[in-house]
Chain A
Amino acid sequence: MNLFAIIGEALRALRLNRLRTGLTMLGMIIGVAAVVLMLSIGQGAQTKINQSIASMGSNLFLVVPGATSSGGLSFGSGSIKTLTISDAQAIAELHSVSATGPVISGTAQLSFSAKNWSTVITGTTPNYFDVGNWEFESGTAFTESDLRSGARVVVLGAITAENLFGTVDPIGKTMRITNRPFLVVGVLTAKGQSLSGRDQDDNVFIPITTSERQITGNQFPGSIRYMLVQGQSAETMDEAENEIIQLLRQRHRISDGMENDFTVRNLTAIANVATGAAKIMSIVLGAIASVSLLVGGIGIMNIMLVSVTERTREIGIRMAIGANRRAILTQFLLEAMMICIMGGLIGVLLGIGGAWLVSEIADMLIVITSGMIGLAFFFASAVGIFFGFYPAQKAASLKPVDALRYE
């Protein structure tokens, strides 16, 4: 019997039991859609983390005041004042370090013509932009001489620029920060969210000296909130970390056996952990979705077994008029596989639709790759063959006389 004829027979059988076929297919549809959706969410999370890491800059350390044991990253508290601008300058001199970016920050009221905007203001050095991997949409960073003189110049984050200036080109314009006039020298390219989920583009940057003297003020002059340190290379990160710690202990006159009054964190290592976590999350999501695919497969096996029992007499008649075992096996296997393949197709479409919906409603990044769709489809077919084979085999191994006598 040729394959086309068997496909025809299988299709006919499926059509005759539309409701049952549809319900069985539903199990497959849900399974495949869940796999596609979960994989795309997992992949989206991974991509997002990779983007944040790429935007963060490479070989980075974060140095914050306060001991490690005082409770993790404490750079919101502002109560510990052990790090200074000169610490940052000294660290920048180390062999294993290429640059540092010390930061003091606060919030400030901004205005341009009639518009007002309140946001985070960061006082830092020109190196900060390199270290933090910032790109300029237009203009440039402020300069070392701006830093020395405490000039009133400002670099705007992308969102701040948009909110305050709209369509006007901000470069060369004078805006006000807590009512003092500042010249806009640069606008940054948008970066999106940081690893910790903070928006990095609603921000303004001014020279750290200007900030200390005129905007945020400083209870302990020269102290900073944190600094970014860029290591010379990925290979020398451990060495750099040790040198930074030794240098700061020396500068802060911490005797042996005493605790550090600062904390050095390797951000690249943290990023790697985050990437690993996202990968595990993808795998877990995929595994959970696979369970529903498995359940769908068992549903198919169940229905095919019922179908074989119900159609035993039909199988007997077919054998009596010349169907061999392979023809019977192929017909039942094809029935199971058609359910899977059609269910898989609909499931993939539904999964893509669902992913789109999630990205619209939950504002999550969703990534769908052809590999994912291929994988879901491959699994659907595999499930069809795996769970369809036993019932088909059962049908084919019936003895003609027993099948014919079956009531």
Chain B
Amino acid sequence: MYAPQQNNVTQTLIKLDKLCKSYHLDDANGKTMSTQVLFDVALNIQQGEFVAIMGHSGSGKSTLMNILGCLDTPTSGSYWLAERNVAALSNDELAYIRNRHIGFVFQGFNLLKRMTALDNVATPLLYAGINRSNSRQRALEQLQRTGLEKFAMHHPNQLSGGQQQRVAISRALINQPSLLLADEPTGNLDSQTSREIMTLFEQLNQQQGLTIVLVTHEEDIAAYAKRLIRLKDGVVVYDENHNVMNKPSPTQ
């Protein structure tokens, strides 16, 4: 079902329809206040796309990403992931999807502090039921691909921000997901390291056809993507498909 389709017709990977999200907060008087963050978001993302989402702080980008990543549920509207209605899935099925089909990269890396880089990368495999020695072997190969094998036995606090983020990306990719979600992946990194990370994303998208959705505040980071979506106060105000062929390469 999630295996990349081999035919020429591009498959819709993500389909959002009238998606709304409200948060309920109890105020000091015990009354429940409700604030709506996303308003009737409708969105289609095809397999193999590389999408950047931009918008002011508080516009609902992270909220949208959490819903896309099956970490949170919408208040109303529907979310179809690879033609399955996410609202109808059980907790275990959602965990399975997060494990096998989605890779998540965070602004703050979110590595497990008390584990080595190697074990961090291997953990999703453990949850996939693969034994520890096989998991470690595969994790090491994944780290080699990102040039981090030297740091396999380092703990996160012994790594630079860029190295930590690359470990986190390795972890997100270890189960060969079809969708990579990145919420401000370069937000904590300098411009040089940011460029390295974005080049890596670009390669993954172009060479492996990995679908990538990333959130950023910086126009030059967004320029790596092939499609730009702008959010304003929870509403999609701009959605432009760059022409793939005519897209100027940011590295030039």
Which residues of A are interface residues toward B (Cβ below 8 A)?
1-2, 4-5, 8-9, 12-13, 16, 313-314, 317-327, 399-401, 404
Contacts and interface: CB of A to CB of B under 8 A. Distances in A.
A2 B111 CA distance: 22
Nearest to A322: B99
A327 B111 CA distance: 18
A401 B71 contact: yes
Contacts of A319: 71, 95, 98
B91 A324 contact: yes
Contacts of A313: 110
B227 interface: no
Given A314-B112, A399-B72, A404-B71, A322 B129 contact: no
Contact of A317 (B69, B110, B128): B110
Top 3 nearest A-B pairs (CB, nearest first) are A322-B99, A324-B95, A401-B72
Contacts of B115: 12
Nearest to A396: B91
Given A325-B92, A401-B71, A401-B72, A320 B104 contact: yes
A317 B95 contact: no
Contacts of B124: 321-322
Nearest to B97: A322
Main secondary structure of the interface of A (DSSP, over half): helix
B171 interface: yes
Contact of B95 (A8, A16, A323, A401): A323
Interface in B122-156: 123-124, 126-129, 131-132
Contacts of A401: 66, 71-72
B131 A5 contact: yes
A184 B132 CA distance: 80
Contacts of B61: none
Contact of B131 (A4, A13, A314): A4
Interface in B84-131: 91-92, 95-96, 98-100, 104, 106, 110-115, 123-124, 126-129, 131
B24 to A, nearest CB: 13
Contacts of A323: 95, 99, 127
Nearest to B171: A321
Given A2-B129, A2-B131, A12-B114, A322 B100 contact: yes
Contact of B112 (A2, A317, A327): A317
Contacts of B71: 319-320, 400-401, 404
10 contacts: A1-B129, A2-B129, A2-B131, A4-B131, A317-B111, A318-B127, A321-B99, A322-B128, A399-B72, A401-B72
Interface in B38-69: 66, 69
A324 B92 contact: yes
Nearest to A17: B114
A16 B175 CA distance: 28
Nearest to B92: A324
A14 B127 CA distance: 20
A320 B129 contact: no
Interface core residue of B98, B100, B115, B131 (most chain A CB under 10 Å): B98
A326 B99 CA distance: 14
Interface core residue of A9, A327, A399, A404 (most chain B CB under 10 Å): A404
Given A5-B126, A400-B72, A322 B95 contact: yes
